Amino acid sequence: MDNMVLKVEYREVYGKELVYPICAKAHAIARLAGDKTLTPRTIKIAKELGYRVEVGLEEILEEIRREDQKSLEIHNYVPASAFYE
């Protein structure tokens, strides 16, 4: 049942790992709890109500892209195609 899925993403903020809602349902659950993030308690209650929590793949891929870009910038990477023009 896909309508019982809460899409979330994990972010580290000031050394704490927080769970941020991505989809409208996850945002609504967070608002019901009076938070912008989903706390472990809120996630536990949502699961008791039959919801499943999934980490959004798009956000994971975007984080990987950002880290790769930072790495390339640090090492002053020049793509090989630049040498063949």
CB 38 within 8 A of CB 8: yes
pLDDT at position 56 is 78
pLDDT at position 25 is 94
Say yes or no to pLDDT of 16 above 70. yes
Structural domain of 32: 2-84
pLDDT at position 76 is 57
Question: pTM for the complete prediction?
Answer: 0.64
Name the pLDDT band for 41 (thresholds 50, 70, 90): very high
**Sign of CA pseudo-dihedral 67, 68, 69, 73:** positive
Between 77 and 5, the more confident residue is 5
* Count: domains in the chain: 1
